[in-house]
Amino acid sequence: MALVNIKINGQPYQVEAGLTVLEAARACGYEIPSLCAFNHGKCSLASCRVCLVEVVGARGLVASCVYPVNEGMEIITNSPKAVEARRASVELILSNHEKNCLQCPKNGHCELLHVAEMVGARDQKYVGEMTEKTVDEVAPGIIRNTAKCILCGRCIERCKEAQGISILGFENRGFRTIVAPVQNRSFAESPCMQCGQCVNVCPTGALMEKSEIEKVDEAFKAGKKVIVQTAPAVRAAIAEEFGAKIGTAGTGKMVAALHRLGFYRVFDTNFAADLTIMEEGYELIHRIKNGGVLPQITSCSPGWINYMEYFYPEIIPNISTCKSPHMMMGAIIKSYYAEKNGIDPKDIFVVSIMPCTAKKYERQRPEMANDVDAVLTTRELAKMIKRAGINWNKLPEEEFDNDLLGEYTGAGVIFGVTGGVMEAALRTAYFVLKGKEYPLVNFQEVRGLEGVKEAEIKELGIKVAVTSGMKNAKPLLDAVKAGTSPYAFIEVMGCPGGCINGGGQPYVHPTLLPNEDADILDTYRAKRASVLYSEDERQVLRQSHNNKDIQKLYKEYLGEPLSEKSEALLHTHYNANREKYPNK
């Protein structure tokens, strides 16, 4: 690693060659205000001008987020000229910003408020006409409010880098410029996956998930039996909302909080993840043995399904017909569970706590028959806990309710990370095809956070692939469409890294996480993934087919995987006729 010698505010340092001034300064212990750099490693267009510094010999001030260091460079971060310029930049941004901070859903996580405090922004320094406001609340998962947008471009870059579809861009020119889908359309009128990756990187409240907390409140008021389920990835991140370091497991305290919020039953979606493996695994085996359409592609990620219907409807025959785990759970709660407990399904209100904004759309699909009534993100659950005055740090460790649907295996836990669905399926497929358990349990070949992982499972005589993020998935999907894919099974997740990095997870912005290392953007996904893999290792049962409650469900109610009742309750279909973007 080549090093260069620089000076910052008169102090000598050695830093890695190729860093920007902003990166070098942070590595040396200086925090320069910035609104564009923390975009999962991708800086946008240096458009906010908040990170201006002086560089000796340069003409005027430079944007530190894009200006590279070089040998002998002298940087001054705290000169009166730089300090005043940064303050003026923030004040100009604030002059065209909706300032209802107390009511803003981003309160407590707003980077604009953070830098305004850093630079000492003055109240109403610049006052004038404001850009006309657009509020898009039509789409099920995401709300867009241009009055809170600062035109940093982070959402534009994130959509491009993660999904490769560039839903968002700069519309209009000059003072009328906004960030929007083309022609300022609603997200509902564009090929948006509703994945929420743009929400995760927005520094203000311009992009937010569409809250369904009020729906849950109304269900409680109506006297419904409000049953909650939590996705595996939620436990890997929820503690971050209460000051814990990234990588802290929050399972027991989360369950305790849900009990104290008054839910009738607190279930783990991992149960339905095991159920998904039984259905999806047997579906794969059926296709292999009977000459069905291959490769089979997973269907657990609604963001990915949205993308497929927009851009690859030709491969619908390849997609597993299984509903996602939380939708299966909702269907089982309102049928099997209700019947066994003598409850009218109309009196049940199912709430899913998910790491994903796309699942808000998924639950509203007409094919889903109202299996789930409301979807809350990890962030929304944290808001409910804080609203109730529950002290997270004083909560005990409690267990999920064990009422017909309580047991889960390690295979269900790892659904939340890329490669987890594949590994869980392989564990059961091996047992079904070989008549014995896979002795190593773990399939290391499909683990890791790479965008694409390919493996030959010699024990089963098949090739498989795992991908996350649609930009990474596209080459695999192109091969499937062309009929040249060599794989029998492909796992696709909409968000890079899987559900641990979903659009409803806690924000990861280093400037707002003082207890974390500076390189947290390079490691946060791995730290969250480690929570799930550790819980998998701790489970006595680690293969879905060994789940005793799943075995009982089939024996007493479903019959067998892919039975007529299973097909009716647990499987779905996809729509090749969704309105396409005209310039796709």
For the annotated catalytic residues, the residue numbers are 280, 283, 300, 320, 359, 362, 367, 499
Q: How far apart are the first and last CA of the chain?
A: 43
Structure tokens at 316: 């619908």
Quote the tokens at residue 255: 């369950």
> How far does CA 556 lie from the centroid of its chain?
36
Report CA-CA distances (Å) from 70 to 2, 17, 20, 23, 42: 11, 7, 9, 13, 21
Does residue 225 contact residue 347 with C-beta atoms inside 8 Å? yes
Which alpha helices (DSSP H) does 539-577 contain, by range?
Answer: 548-553, 564-570
Separation between Cα atoms, residue 231 and residue 362, nearest integer Å: 15
Which tokens is 348 given? 């049940």
Compute the distance between CA of residue 355 and CA of residue 504 in angstroms, rounded to an integer.
5
Q: Which H or E element spans position 54?
A: strand 52-55
Pairing of strands 265-268, 225-230: parallel
Q: β-strands 178-180, 169-171: how paired? A: antiparallel
CB 323 within 8 A of CB 368: yes
Q: Rounded distance, CA 127 to CA 45, Å? A: 26
The span from the CA of 283 to the CA of 318, in Å, is: 11
Q: Are 128 and 95 in contact (CB under 8 A)?
A: yes
Could you tell me which of 55, 421, 79, 378 has the C-alpha nearest to residue 239?
378
Q: CA 69 to CA 62: how far, in whole Å? A: 12
